[in-house]
Amino acid sequence: MFCGLVLPLTMVFCDSKPNVDDSTVFRYNEFRNITSLDPAFARNPQNIWPIQQLFNGLVQLDDSLNVVPEIAHKWEIDSLGRTYTFYLRQDVNFHSSSSFGKEKTRTVVASDFSYSFSRLTDPDVGSPGGWVLQQVESYKAINDSVFRIKLKLAFPAFISLLSMRYCSVVPKEVVEDRTHDFRKHPIGTGPFKFKAWEEDVKLVLRKNPLYFETDEQGEQLPYLEAIAIRFLPDIQSEFMLFSKGEFDFLNSLDPSYKDELLTPSGELQEKYAHQINIQKGPYLNTEYIGFYMDSDNPALQSTAIRKAINIGFDRKKMINYLRNTIGFPALNGFIPKGLTGRNRTILNDYNPILARQLVEKYAETSGQTARIRLATDINYLDICEYLQREMQKIGIELTIDLMPTPTLRQAKSSGKLEAFRASWIADYPDAENYLSLFYGRNFSPNGPNYTHYTNQEYDRLYREAMTVSSLEDRALLYQKMDQMIMEDYPIVPLYYDQAIRFVQKGISGFEMNPLNLLQLKRVQKN
């Protein structure tokens, strides 16, 4: 146990620099807890956020989701789009560790990436990130500063996929040191280094004094001295401590306090205006209802009924009343705001008169009432109940099955649900990530096509898009594919999510991005 758990933050750092200025410590709460600090397990935001501070990869994303250099200072892609050659910086060192011997550290070389990538597909490691290499034919270190990757087929989104923290570089000496638990005591190259972690209580990271990146004025990053993360599981307690200034930002908007913080129009309540800044921006997450196209429910086999559901409820009203205007009505297909390739035209506007006509015609021709069972978890029960009421108005009987989240996830993957509430958060900033959910070869449980939608022309366009290097030309194909989805209706897009953060006054350099990555190397507390 490390000392300072019940003492002020200035007393947390017991064995070095005990008098750290609290104004240089960034504090936040992670109510979902962290399972691992090993980048091979950077599966969800709670793990990704601290891993983002501890590790680096070949490339990274800027706040506009452009791929920019990180450990690779430049790269080349051959004319076929299959061979990627990365040229590494030679001033990137691992954090200090006794596993390196007398020198305590060493410089990153290309073979470190070979080792790090191999871990992702090693069954003994069991990483959930092996899929990021499914398009890769081979990779190797040409020398200490050149790393080459060859793909099986051209995949234009691959360079952005490499920005994921799964692809971070790790040191073999430390990972394979039997006296060292890499999950709990990671050694990376990032702007912050590991200090201490008492699981379920607190995690502390300290500034890396040897970090290689600088700001535009040449000043070394990061600016902060430390990051302190608490693990309070109660969201209301998190909010109370944030309101008292004990956390620097709040990333959640729980229904239990959303009206306390926000007005009905989504603005910050006046009593907090002197203390808190609010940040909003597109978040690459589409919330939707999926239909299992292999279901034997005749109502779901009807394109007319699926269309009626899509146009039979008011998305704008749903956002205004259930989410205090946080989010954007999903009127333009499945691809969310913030991605190139998103349709600008409205594809599924509210039309209750036509929706009722479609349902009545179905009942007349089939002799049946349209009945559908919709599975959800407790977090989205209010939205599903809203849909239930709206469907009743147009003549569809919607029954809600409430399930624990893990049960819902498993049942969705195994095809046991005829309709399900789901979300798709982008892994990387390319619309292909969304359109892959409808590619015929991606049927679940072996891929993300949970609806088992299949369309030969869609599949042809998908394969064609993978051969187009120009993002602008690829975007035109993406738009066609998205429109096809909204003509066949295997899903009901509900809303495109919006990232919202509440930040204490005096915090600067805390920028948002559509992937909602937590990047703290440029943050300052004034």
Domains and CATH numbers, the chain: 20-232+505-525 (3.40.190.10), 283-499 (3.10.105.10)
Give CA angle at 205 (231, 173), nearest 5°.
115
- Position 19 scores a pLDDT of 62
End-to-end CA distance of the chain: 32
Residues 6 or more apart from 465 whose CB is under 8 A from it? 156, 432, 435, 474, 477, 478, 481
pLDDT of residue 1: 41
Beta strands in 379-490 (DSSP E): 397-402, 419-425
Q: Characterize 423-454 residue by residue with b for buried, 16 or more Cβ atoms within 10 angstroms of its Cβ, and e for exposed.
A: ebbbbbbbbbbbbbbbbeebbbeebbbbbbbb
pLDDT for the residue 281:
87
Q: Parallel, antiparallel, or unpaired for β 371-376 and 397-402? A: parallel
- Half-sphere CA count of 423, side-chain side, radius 13 A: 17
Using CA atoms, how far residue 318 sits from 252, 313, 322, 358, 375, in Å, is: 19, 8, 6, 22, 19
Q: Extract the tokens encoding 34.
A: 């962290």
Task: With a cut of 70, list the residues of the chain below it in pLDDT.
Answer: 1-19
Residue 419's beta-bridge partner residues? Answer: 291
In whole angstroms, how far apart are CA 179 and each of 98, 183, 203, 405, 487?
10, 12, 21, 37, 58
Q: Which pLDDT score is estimated for 9?
A: 46
Radius of gyration, CA atoms only, the chain: 25
Can you give the length of the chain in residues?
Answer: 526
